[in-house]
Structure 1
Amino acid sequence: MTSQHQNSQTMKPATAAKKLGVYLEATPADFREGVVTRDELNALQAEPPAWLVELRRTGPHPRPVVAAKLGVSISGLARGGVTEALTTEQIEALKQENPEWLQKERATQAEVRKEAVRIKQVQAERAERAERRD
């Protein structure tokens, strides 16, 4: 693969928006209608333009970002009836309201994280024992 081929590598706007952590439909039309090169993506990440800074700050945010800000899984959002992108203001309002579904999903997510840590510890202990046997 030549360096020129790498420089011309492009992606769909949806892929670039996902990598930037923004909701595609909220991006400017020229971003949504074209293709994004790897260099353009790197430039957007290194020195985000005003529209990107504002979009990241106020939203609307894509579901993975909403889920992370609420401390739940994407599936948990769906179970709670949240299927659309939310603004930062809407996310904060949900946190303040703290509905039962959000409390339940946060508890579920906390259990999932604890279990992941436990499994990682068990695997590390097994690897250590196997290393000592060798």
Structure 2
Amino acid sequence: MKPETAAKKLGVLLSATPAEFREGVVSRDELNELQAKPPAWLVELRRNGPHPKQVVAAKLRVSVSGLIRGGITEPLTTAEIEALKAENPDWLEHEQAVQAETRKEAQRLKQR
């Protein structure tokens, strides 16, 4: 598979991966090995980032659209995410409430 696809499946930002990862092709077996026994670079990226927008959104408990509405368009590191959580701006609080309501409604519909 393409490196972009593998990076997405691993939950990391492609541009932050090593050159040999970005320039190669990743087989299913290699992807499974990376998931089962992540190398140091992968552990470091997952721990400290920079993180892709899907991961940032999940860590902030908002949607990707909510991130964009809040003005977050670039990848963030774990430290930046934690600082944003500590600051708790109005837009973040609002988007978390919207996301919670969306999940609650989805759960309600699922139970019907």
TM-score by length of 2: 0.98
Write out aligned runs for 1:104-119 (5 A).
104-119=94-109
What is the aligned counterpart of 1:34 among 24, 37, 43?
Answer: 24
Write out aligned runs for 1:1-134 (5 A).
11-122=1-112
- Quote the Cα distance in structure 2 between the aligned partners of 1:43 and 1:114: 36
| Partner deviation per Cα, 1:49-89 (whole Å, 9 max, x = no partner) | 00000000000000000000000000000000101110000
Q: Which has the larger radius of gyration?
A: 1
Counting aligned pairs with the same residue, the percent is: 76
Letter in 2 for 1:27: T
Root-mean-square deviation (Å): 0.5
Q: How much has 1:121 moved relative to structure 2?
A: 1.6
Where 1:36 maps in the other structure, the secondary structure is coil
Gaps of 5+ in 1: 1-10, 123-134
Gaps of 5+ in 2: none
- Quote the Cα distance in structure 2 between the aligned partners of 1:27 and 1:91: 20
- Quote the Cα distance in structure 2 between the aligned partners of 1:54 and 1:48: 10
TM-score by length of 1: 0.82
The count of aligned residue pairs is: 112
- Quote the Cα distance in structure 2 between the aligned partners of 1:117 and 1:76: 20
